[in-house]
Amino acid sequence: MTRRRVNVLEHVVIPEIRETIKFIYDKLGEAERDNISRLMKIADIIRA
Q: Which pLDDT tens digit goes with each residue over 7-38?
A: 999 999 999 999 999 999 999 999 999 999 99
pTM of the entire structure?
A: 0.73
Q: Between vectors from CA 16 to CA 12 and to CA 20, what angle results, nearest 5°?
A: 175
- Going from the C-alpha of 21 to that of each of 12, 32, 34, 38, the distances in angstroms are 14, 16, 20, 26
User: What is residue 19's predicted lDDT score, i.e. its pLDDT?
Assistant: 98
